[in-house]
Structure 1
Amino acid sequence: MPLVMEDVMKLLCSISEEKKMKAAVKHSRRGALVTGTMAFVGGLVGGPLGIAVGGALGGLLGAWMATGQFKPVPQILMELPPAEQQRLFHEVMAIVRYLNWTDAVQLTALVMGSEPLKEKLLAMLVNYVTKELRAKVRY
């Protein structure tokens, strides 16, 4: 039976939709860039005092930007680059490899009918989102 990555991604979307999972990815790089830029511009305009003022204002703006907005996990999953989707696919297949399925609907029905299997996949998904994407998960 050919294993289709799209079916697995649909399965993960179904599981995360059922749990109403959302995740906030922090944009710390962007916040650090803003802080540094503001300090630099402040230094050009106001010398040493400008660096302090620009750094403080940039720090506040950077901190505000670094707080992530929560997005639905299914949306995040579908926006992943193909290499990351492939990585997730392999992790899911390690869990569901013994199931016999032909399409996404059948795979989803098999998994949703088994609470232990669903919980394993949910734990794997939460681990992936928190460790690999460095996001905070909320239900």
Structure 2
Amino acid sequence: MPIMVDDIIQLLCSISQEKRMQAAVKHSGKGALVTGAVAFVGGLVGGPPGIAVGGAVGGLLGAWITSGQFKPVPQILMELPPAEQQKLFNKATSIIRNLDWTDAVQLTALVMGSDALQQKLLGMLVTYITSELRAEIRYDD
């Protein structure tokens, strides 16, 4: 039975879609840069009170700039380069190696029927996204 990378990626997409997972790369550096720049300009224009006002306005602006950049995890998985998909494939196959399946549909049905397998794959996926991609995860309810 040849295990296909696409089958595993499709399975991970199904699991993350069911959990309504979204992820965003953290842009805290960009937000901090905006906050600091606006506080600096506020200080130049208004002195010490300008720094306070500039910091507050810059913080809000920085938060606004970095918000709303969450994308569905299935979309992120499908856009991964082949080398990253291979990494996920290797991690996932170590979890499902004992399953007997012939295609992505059967594999997905087997995994979705087992809470334990879903949790193991979900844990692996969360670890990959947070450590390898350095992204923040949220679940839409």
Q: 1:56 to 1:82 in 2, by over 3 A?
A: farther
Partner residue of 2:128?
A: 128
Cα RMSD of the aligned pairs, angstroms, is 3.0
Partner residue of 1:7?
A: 7
2:81 and 2:31 map into 1 onto residues whose CA distance is 23
Partner residue of 2:111?
A: 111
Partner residue of 1:92?
A: 92
Per-residue Cα deviation, 1:89-119 (whole angstroms, up to 9, x for no partner): 1110110011122211111011111111111
Percent sequence identity is 65
Per-residue Cα deviation, 1:25-52 (whole angstroms, up to 9, x for no partner): 222354466678889xx7xxx9xxxxx7
Q: 1:9 to 1:119 in 2, by over 3 A?
A: same
**1:64 Cα deviation (Å)?**
2.9
Partner residue of 1:49?
A: none
Aligned AA (1:112): M
**1:136 Cα deviation (Å)?**
2.6
Q: What secondary structure is seen at the aligned counterpart in 1 of 2:138?
A: strand
Contact 1:27 1:68 in 2 (8 A): no
Aligned AA (1:12): L
TM-score computed with the length of structure 1 as normaliser? 0.74
Partner residue of 1:80?
A: 80
1:124 and 1:63 map into 2 onto residues whose CA distance is 29
**1:72 Cα deviation (Å)?**
1.2
1:55 and 1:87 map into 2 onto residues whose CA distance is 42
Q: Which runs of 5+ in 1 are unaligned?
A: 47-51
2:6 and 2:23 map into 1 onto residues whose CA distance is 21
Q: How many residues align?
A: 138
Per-residue Cα deviation, 1:51-103 (whole angstroms, up to 9, x for no partner): x7999876654443233522211111111122211111111011001112221
TM-score computed with the length of structure 2 as normaliser? 0.73
2:126 and 2:17 map into 1 onto residues whose CA distance is 13
Contact 1:15 1:122 in 2 (8 A): yes
